[in-house]
């Protein structure tokens, strides 16, 4: 018998090419081309190819290993903004044999001048942050433990996106007043620094425009009338379209019209009950105001309507996917009306991803030289996806060398030093791994001497009619250590028929006893004796006795911890105004990029987790009374070592 035909030799069943038992070229056993058992070309046991038992391929009792197939998708599609991270996702790769896959990513090419690199290379997903315009090509090869797939490439073209100018809210002032023109909400999706150019488009002559190249300019009207001012911003390459703002100047001593603020735009899935929020509307003379909402735009065939359109917080239940635009006009007690402000609600089908919403935190007033900590933990995603944060300094005072300090791209709380007097505008874009928010902004004003205090009217309150609630301004602050604050609480709006008035209005803690069901808006201004704060508002929702109200979640105070140290969260301050027991649902809103931390006891009042990497962890709490769920409350856990 030939050496190549011995039973149990390297040939035999399992031939390389034929579907017969073991043969490379025929069905005979024994010889190279014949029928002897175990031949290179026969069907004996043990061959390198063919279909016999134990073979690597063919149609016998064994099976051929099939090479895996690599597949790549991106969070951005074929085009992405420069400076925003793109996620390349290989989880669509497949192996017909069901073998576990390993991943090997390569940045195959990038534009000239780019220093971008992949964030990781061995997992099913990687991130890349394009740093210059041009094409970035990323290649994926997967392996099933035996063989590599063919390489699959994905090309993303990074582009500079034109900035968007925002000239602020229309408002009223008196002749001779110095009005602030606020362009701080202007945005650039690429995070580029912006320059500003204000101009007077229409209005009486002789007025003064001060600081026309600043984000926050000033305007002093010389005569009564209506003035229209324009703002164009530039990102170093592209101009924005012009945005406009209308200022109405009245004679000294006359009533000024209130300012409507319809709240931030929202992105929600179909079936969500949307709460509109006009509680930040205000009257410059401190008068009470009333609200009038209208639904200007809705999708074809929608019958949705605003419920309780005279409330500062009405509701809207979208019944079709699409865009809904609502307008708010407020009227003061002297019958002066604001210009309308609009809010956009984007409603997506249930199975479609919703863009997250960025919230860059409250404005801050600090001393020159202070280390400023930003706070994006109020950002949200309607789908509950983990968030990443992209911060940038949109503008800063001339001569400033301020730079943001991050722990990683998932850091909701970067810091910077306010090294020069003036206004810093910081932009925030958040991502959910699939798409991005629009940019939100926050202003930080630095001064070398006395700094205006910042009012904080506390968390919103929910209660039952005739229950007295406490309103706390204890979190109001002043950057000048030793300054004593005074407090002034006023009732901005109350339901029709209410005679309720706040008590202890000059104390840090005021009181209010709602006397009819509805929403009450109370405003706080604090003063250091020289400068007063911008007003801050708190909303009190009162329900009739016996009517179920939504519970209120409180995720507890911010904490500091260390790697490996158990963190215990505290939702014990959550409550239900009707006294109904609540259930708890905690989840991570964001955590450091490389963290694999998990929550233990996520449905308890006090869950725990163990931080595994340095960074900021944001945890969200929602509570339920079995009928209604609360608005989410978030807490940040800072891990620095």
Give per-residue pLDDT as tens, 202-220. 999 989 999 999 999 999 9
Measured between its terminal Cα atoms, the distance across the chain in Å is 73
Distance of CA 137 to the CA centre of its chain: 28
* SS3 assignment, position 83: coil
Q: What is the pLDDT of residue 155?
A: 97
What is the distance between the alpha carbons of residues 492 and 509, in angstroms, rounded to a whole number? 17
Residue 324 has pLDDT above 80, yes or no: yes
Convert the pLDDT of each residue in 514-565 to its tens digit: 999 999 999 999 999 999 999 999 999 999 999 999 999 999 999 999 999 9
pLDDT the model gives residue 1: 38
Q: Is the pLDDT of residue 140 over 70?
A: yes
The mean pLDDT of 370-395, rounded to a whole number, is: 94
Distance of alpha carbon 510 from its chain centroid, rounded? 33
> Do 595 and 391 meet the contact criterion of CB atoms below 8 Å apart?
no
Give me the DSSP letters along 124-178: SEEEE---SSEEEEEEEEEE-SS-BPPPEEEEEEEEPPPPB------EEEETT--
Give every CB contact of residue 224 below 8 A, 6+ residues apart in sequence.
175, 204, 249, 250, 251
Q: Which helix (H) or strand (E) holds 225?
A: strand 225-234
Q: Give 254-298 pLDDT, tens digit per residue.
A: 999 999 999 999 999 999 999 999 999 999 999 999 999 999 999
Residue 120 CA to its chain's centroid (Å)? 24
Cα distance between residue 505 and residue 461, in whole Å: 17
User: Is 373:391 a contact under the CB 8 Å cutoff?
Assistant: no
Q: 399 or 23: which carries more pLDDT confidence? A: 399
pLDDT at 42 over 80: no
Which tens digit of pLDDT belongs to each residue from 587-625? Answer: 999 999 889 999 999 999 999 999 999 999 999 999 999
The pTM (predicted TM-score) of the whole model is: 0.81
Mean pLDDT over 460-477 rounds to 97
Residue 13: pLDDT above 70? no
Cβ pair 423, 445 in contact under 8 A: yes
Output 305-308 pairs: Cβ under 8 A, ≥24 positions apart.
306/276
pLDDT interval class at 640 (50, 70, 90): confident
Task: Write down the residue that tokens 């109200």 correspond to.
Answer: 549
Half-sphere exposure of 543 (CA within 13 A, CB side): 14
Q: What is the pLDDT of residue 30?
A: 37
Task: Report pLDDT for 160.
Answer: 95
Q: Which of 428, 365, 371 is nearest to 402 (CA)?
A: 371
Q: Is the pLDDT of residue 46 over 90?
A: no
- Report the chain's mean pLDDT, rounded to a whole number: 89
Neighbours of 569 (CB within 10 A): 23
Task: Dig out the tokens for 615 from the structure.
Answer: 């960074």
Q: Which domains does the chain have, with CATH numbers?
A: 1-64 (no CATH), 73-159 (2.60.40.10), 171-250 (2.60.40.10), 266-348 (2.60.40.10), 364-431 (2.60.40.10), 461-543 (2.60.40.10), 559-639 (2.60.40.10)
How do 152-159 and 79-81 pair as beta strands? parallel
Distance CA 600, CA 590 (A): 16
Query: In the chain, helix, strand, coil percent, each to 5?
Result: 0, 40, 60
* pLDDT reading at 17 higher than 90: no
| Distance set, CA 377 to CA 53, 124, 277, 362 (Å) | 60, 27, 19, 11
């Amino acid at each position: 018998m030939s050496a190549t035909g011995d039973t149990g030799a390297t040939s035999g069943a399992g031939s390389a090419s034929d579907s017969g038992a073991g043969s490379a070229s025929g069905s005979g056993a024994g010889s190279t081309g014949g029928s002897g058992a175990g031949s290179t070309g026969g069907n004996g046991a043990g061959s390198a190819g063919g279909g016999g038992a134990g073979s690597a391929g063919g149609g016998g009792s064994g099976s051929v290993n099939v090479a895996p197939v690599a597949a790549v998708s991106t969070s951005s599609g074929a085009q992405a903004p420069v400076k925003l991270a793109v996620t390349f996702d290989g989880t669509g790769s497949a192996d017909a044999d069901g073998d576990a896959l390993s991943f090997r990513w390569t940045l195959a090419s990038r534009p000239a001048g780019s220093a971008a690199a992949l964030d990781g290379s061995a997992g099913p997903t990687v991130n890349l942050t394009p740093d210059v315009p041009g094409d970035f090509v990323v290649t994926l090869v997967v392996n099933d433990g035996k063989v590599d797939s063919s390489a699959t490439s994905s090309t993303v073209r990074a582009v500079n996106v034109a900035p968007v100018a925002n000239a602020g809210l229309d408002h009223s002032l008196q002749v001779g007043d110095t009005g602030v023109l606020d362009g701080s909400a202007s945005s650039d999706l690429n995070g580029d620094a912006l320059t500003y150019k204000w101009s007077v488009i229409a209005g009486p002559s002789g007025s003064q425009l001060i600081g026309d190249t600043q984000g926050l300019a000033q305007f002093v009207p010389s005569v009564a009338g209506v003035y229209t001012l324009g703002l164009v911003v530039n990102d170093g390459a592209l101009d924005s379209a012009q945005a406009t703002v209308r200022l109405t100047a009245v004679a000294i001593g006359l009533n000024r019209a209130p300012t409507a603020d319809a709240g931030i735009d929202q992105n929600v899935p179909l079936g969500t009950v949307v709460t509109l929020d006009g509680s930040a509307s205000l009257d410059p003379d401190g008068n009470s105001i009333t609200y009038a909402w209208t639904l200007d735009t809705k999708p074809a065939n929608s019958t949705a309507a605003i419920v309780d359109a005279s409330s500062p917080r009405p509701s809207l239940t979208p019944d079709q996917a699409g865009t809904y635009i609502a307008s708010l006009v407020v009227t003061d007690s002297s019958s002066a009306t604001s210009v309308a402000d609009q809010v956009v609600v984007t409603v997506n089908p249930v199975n479609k991803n919703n863009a997250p919403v960025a919230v860059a935190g409250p404005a801050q007033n600090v001393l020159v030289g202070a280390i400023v900590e930003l706070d994006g933990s109020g950002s949200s995603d309607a789908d509950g996806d983990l968030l990443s944060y992209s911060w940038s300094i949109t503008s800063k005072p001339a001569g400033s060398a301020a730079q943001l300090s991050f722990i990683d791209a998932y850091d909701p709380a970067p810091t910077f030093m306010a090294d020069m007097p003036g206004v810093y505008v910081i932009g925030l874009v958040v991502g959910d791994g699939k798409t991005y928010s629009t940019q939100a902004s926050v202003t930080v004003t630095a001064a070398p001497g006395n700094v205006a205090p910042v009012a904080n009217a506390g968390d919103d309150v929910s209660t039952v009619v005739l229950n007295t609630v406490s309103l706390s301004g204890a979190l109001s602050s002043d950057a000048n250590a030793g300054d004593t604050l005074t407090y002034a609480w006023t009732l901005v709006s109350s339901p029709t028929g209410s005679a309720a008035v706040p008590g202890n209005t000059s104390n840090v803690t005021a009181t209010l006893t709602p006397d009819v069901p509805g929403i009450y808006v109370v405003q706080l201004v604090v003063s250091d004796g020289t400068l007063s704060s911008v007003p801050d508002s708190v909303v009190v929702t009162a329900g009739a006795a016996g009517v179920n109200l939504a519970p209120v979640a409180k995720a507890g105070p911010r904490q500091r911890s260390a790697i490996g140290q158990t963190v215990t969260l505290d939702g014990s301050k959550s409550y239900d105004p009707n006294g109904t027991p609540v259930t708890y649902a905690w989840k991570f809103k964001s955590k450091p990029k490389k963290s694999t931390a998990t929550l233990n006891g996520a449905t308890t009042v006090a869950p725990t987790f163990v931080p595994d990497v340095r960074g900021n962890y944001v945890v969200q709490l929602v509570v339920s009374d079995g009928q209604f769920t609360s608005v989410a409350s978030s807490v940040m856990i800072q891990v620095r070592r």
